[in-house]
Amino acid sequence: MLLKKGFKFRLDPTQGQWELCAQFAGASRFLYNRGLEQRKAIYEAEGRSMTYFAQNNELVSLKRQEATSWLQLIHSQVLQQALKNLDTAFQNFFQNVKSGKKPGFPRFKCKGLRDSFRYPQGVKVDGTSVYLPKIGWVRFRKSREIEGAIKQTTICREGDHWYVAFSTEQEVPTPAFAPINEDKAVGIDVGIKHFATMASGSAHIPTYVSNPRFFTKHLPRLRVLARRLSKKVKFGKNWLKAKKQLSKLYARIKRCREDFAHKLSTEIVKNHDIICVEGLDIANLLEKSARPLSRAIADASWRSFLRCLQYKAKERGKHFVETGRFFPSTQICSACGANQKIGLEEREYRCPSCAMSMDRDLNSAIVEKAAGMSVLKACGATP
Ligand SMILES: [Zn+2]
């Protein structure tokens, strides 16, 4: 099977390289925004889109014009990639329109926020240095080995630092699937009260994973910064300053979150063969009552965690089942299967049919494990 992975490291550029990175990101943003403006005008006038090829052909003449001749200094594939990214954004937009989803029209990129650029090829790695065409060899903090062949390289800025992200591909033998045995199964329910509630094995051994500290540690500051930003004039100098502070804090939270997701998911996949979760799609429907900022962080954290679980399970030939597609686990009694509506504020599941009473999240985890097991058995996986 083809294994796709992502590796991200912090760059240690020299002052000159730092400036080149900013220049490359600036050029990508310039082309992206310019292309978006063109496409928007045509879309509004004629309801159709401009093609990537038409915009790409224009690049040559842009480089010849005096006002935009500085584009010559930028690696040409980086420029083309910016137009490709715009094309992808438009394709997603039209796809959403077609499928009846609420489409988000591609947005303009703002200077200093999510600055990035991408190389489709030509990047080399030697030890702790990475060769970026037209920028040179840049040192990076290699915290782990890069596995597979590098397909794409994205350079992005988070706060005051530049990062390099490689996406790699590697052909590996497909692992034999683990046997279906409930003793090696775990049901996982995610929530706000506990980050995750797990029921392991046929004895439903409970494990409660507390919320990671960054949930509460960074929230007050996040609220202050968000409030400050909301009071500034949009795109003004002070707004940009506040926005930068906010994105710096978000970047820090993101790093904590990814670290947490990696550690927890590795531990779970190591100890279980069958992992049953409610699912990426519906985890965010839970706990509507929580405050928006903490919800947003929790939501993103569950997603990182579930994504990690999913690919790590796949890599090791373990089963990953999203049960939420089949039924709402919060409503079902894990003892007798009776179904009842249960309010969000209700912490206990009390079954009217069999009088079973249990922590609601643990009940859900058990139901998810049972549902996952029956899906796997029905799919004809070897018992
Ligand atoms: Zn019951």
CA separation (Å) from 181 to 71, 174, 202, 270, 366? 60, 20, 9, 15, 15
For the stretch 32-45, what's the b/e string if a residue is b when 16 or more beta carbons lie within 10 angstroms of its beta carbon?
Answer: bbbbbebbbeebee
pLDDT recorded at residue 283: 46
- Identify the active-site residue in 189, 273, 322, 368: 189
Share of the chain above pLDDT 90, in %: 51
pLDDT at residue 299 greater than cutoff 80: no
Told to judge if 145 belongs to the known catalytic residues of this protein, a careful annotator would answer no
Q: How far is CA 207 from the centre of its chain?
A: 26
Angle of helix 219-230 relative to helix 292-315, nearest 10 degrees?
Answer: 120
Q: Which two tokens stand for residue 105?
A: 């029209």
Would you list the domain boundaries of the chain? 2-171, 182-378
Question: If you measure from the C-alpha of residue 350 to the centroid of ligand 1, how many angstroms do you get, rounded to a whole number?
Answer: 8
Strand partners, 349: 358
* 189 is an active site residue: yes
* CA 365 – ligand 1 centroid, Å: 15
Helix H or strand E segment including 9: strand 2-12
Distance 132 CA to ligand 1 centre (A): 61
Do 323 and 188 contact (CB within 8 A), yes or no?
no
pLDDT bracket for residue 152 (50, 70, 90): very high
Whether 340 has a pLDDT exceeding 90, the answer reads no
Q: Please tell me the distance between residue 373's alpha carbon and the centre of ligand 1 in angstroms.
A: 19
Which of 87, 115, 361, 368 is labelled catalytic? 361
Which of 83-97, 141-155, 321-335 shows the lowest mean pLDDT across its residues? 321-335
CA of 336 to the centre of ligand 1 (A): 4
Closest to 156 measured CA to CA, from 118, 129, 201, 122 = 118
Give the predicted TM-score (pTM) of the model.
0.74
Q: pLDDT band for position 241 (50/70/90)?
A: confident
Which position among 158, 278, 322, 368 bears the catalytic label? 278
Tell me what pLDDT residue 325 has.
62
Span 201-213, average pLDDT: 93
Active site residue 259: no
114 alpha carbon – ligand 1 mean position (Å):
50
- Ligand 1 centroid–CA 348 distance in Å is 13
The pLDDT of residue 381 is 54
Which of 107-111, 232-236, 304-308 holds the top average pLDDT?
A: 304-308
Rounded Cα distance between 171 and 148, Å, is 8
The answer, yes or no, to whether residue 107 has pLDDT greater than 70, is yes
Q: Over the range 49-82, which residues count as b (16 or more CB within 10 Å of their CB) and which as e? A: bbebeebbebbeebbeeeebeebeebbebbbbbb
More reliable by pLDDT, 237 or 166: 166
Quote the pLDDT of residue 284.
Answer: 45
CA gap 13, 114 in Å, rounded:
18
Ligand 1 centre distance from Cα of residue 355 (Å): 6
Average pLDDT of the chain?
88
pLDDT at residue 302, rounded to an integer: 86
